[in-house]
């Protein structure tokens, strides 16, 4: 049996921009994507710590090192600039591998740079 498990997590990222008039998605600094193994167009869940909202969208690669976390399209309604969000991705693995699953987890600082890895 396949189980869906946490694959990666970017914790406490700061929303830097919200673009309502856009097709949709979340733009993430490419350095953060690399740190947790996220791919462009991959589905993610975005949890807003300021208001408790949770949404699904897909990733757009942001400029490397710029620190961007941009809410695009409808998801822009769920966050304001300065809100902290958690970005999660999931993957399917065989249940025999669940005990060996080691998600890539990072915590970022106020400039959306990696401050710790877990």
- Coil, strand, or helix at residue 102? coil
- 58, 89, 115, 116: the catalytic one is 58
Known catalytic residue at 115: no
Residue whose structure tokens are 């976390």: 69
Please tell me which residue in 8, 11, 25, 89 is annotated as part of the active site: 25
User: Is residue 58 among the annotated active site residues?
Assistant: yes
Strand ranges (E), 1-118: 2-14, 17-19, 25-29, 43-48, 54-62, 69-72, 84-94, 104-108, 114-117
Cα(6)–Cα(91) distance, rounded to whole angstroms? 6
By annotation, the residues acting in catalysis are 25, 58
């Amino acid at each position: 049996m396949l189980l869906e498990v946490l694959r990666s997590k970017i914790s406490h990222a700061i929303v830097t921009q919200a673009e309502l008039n856009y097709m949709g998605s979340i733009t993430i600094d490419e350095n953060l994507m690399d740190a947790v193994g996220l791919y462009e167009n991959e589905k993610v869940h975005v949890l807003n710590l300021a208001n408790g909202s949770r949404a699904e969208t897909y990733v757009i690669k942001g400029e490397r090192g710029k620190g961007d976390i941009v809410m695009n399209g409808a998801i822009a309604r769920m966050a304001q600039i300065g809100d902290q969000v958690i970005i999660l991705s999931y993957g399917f693995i065989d249940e025999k591998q669940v005990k060996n699953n080691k998600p890539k987890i990072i915590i970022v600082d106020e400039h959306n740079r990696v401050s710790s890895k877990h």
